[in-house]
């Protein structure tokens, strides 16, 4: 049975949540940009404000999409940096449920924030700008965000409990990986 001190140490040795969440934000943005902007061409970043029906309109939207992709790329870079920093600190490696749960949660946060801000508050684009009544698509996008957060967080918590128990049972001292024992 693990002591309270071992549980506290085990929690400190867990991988950072920021890495998985940032991966989810970035990868969720890439899915949105690649699938909805480029492949399906349902919308661009400012297509409700500047329709891409002329060459000038398409150029404006392409530049806006480029800045959007730059932001999502920076999220992935930040996730990589936080992952490497944790590894160098000797923190535990994430299990698949721990990490994938956070990635799904981050993707859901992306969908909620992007859907609320860009689709509803600013109205710079909708999920389907090519339709006369895009609200149902926007609401579906928001619902997908809520679902991704709920499922992702449940999966993450299961993985976190398993990692905490494993670390506490081994009495993993801070700064050492279990395989170094």
Q: Would you state the pLDDT for residue 175?
A: 45
Q: Would you state the pLDDT for residue 13?
A: 80
The model carries a pTM of 0.85
The answer to whether the beta carbons of residues 148 and 110 sit under 8 Å apart is: no
Where the chain has pLDDT below 70, the residues are: 1-11, 132-133, 170-181
Residues 105-143: tens digit of each pLDDT: 999 999 999 999 999 999 999 999 777 668 899 999 999
Structure tokens at 55: 């060459």
Q: Would you state the pLDDT for residue 177?
A: 47
Q: What is the DSSP letter of 140?
A: H
Q: Which of 111, 104, 180 is nearest to 148 (CA)?
A: 104
Going from N- to C-terminal start, the domains of the chain cover 4-176
Alpha carbon distance 91, 14 (integer Å):
6
Phi then psi dihedrals of residue 43, to 5 deg: -160, 170
Alpha carbon distance 58, 64 (integer Å):
10
Q: Which helix (H) or strand (E) holds 28?
A: helix 17-31
Alpha carbon distance 24, 135 (integer Å):
25
């Amino acid at each position: 049975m693990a002591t309270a001190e071992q549980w506290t140490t085990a929690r400190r040795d867990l991988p950072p949540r920021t890495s998985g969440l940032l991966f989810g934000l970035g990868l969720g943005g890439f899915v949105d940009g690649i699938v909805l902007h480029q492949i399906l061409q349902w919308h661009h970043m400012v297509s409700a404000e500047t329709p891409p029906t002329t060459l000038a309109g398409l150029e404006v939207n392409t530049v806006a999409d480029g800045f959007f992709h730059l932001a999502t790329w920076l999220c992935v870079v930040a996730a990589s940096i936080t992952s490497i920093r944790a590894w160098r600190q000797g923190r535990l490696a994430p299990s698949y449920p721990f990490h994938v749960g956070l990635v799904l949660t981050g993707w859901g946060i992306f969908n909620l924030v992007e859907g609320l801000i860009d689709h509803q508050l600013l109205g710079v684009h909708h999920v389907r700008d090519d339709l006369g009544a895009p609200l149902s698509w926007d609401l579906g996008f928001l619902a997908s965000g809520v679902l991704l957060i709920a499922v992702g967080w449940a999966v993450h918590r299961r993985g976190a409990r398993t990692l905490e128990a494993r670390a506490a049972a081994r009495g993993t001292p801070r700064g050492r990986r279990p395989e170094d024992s």
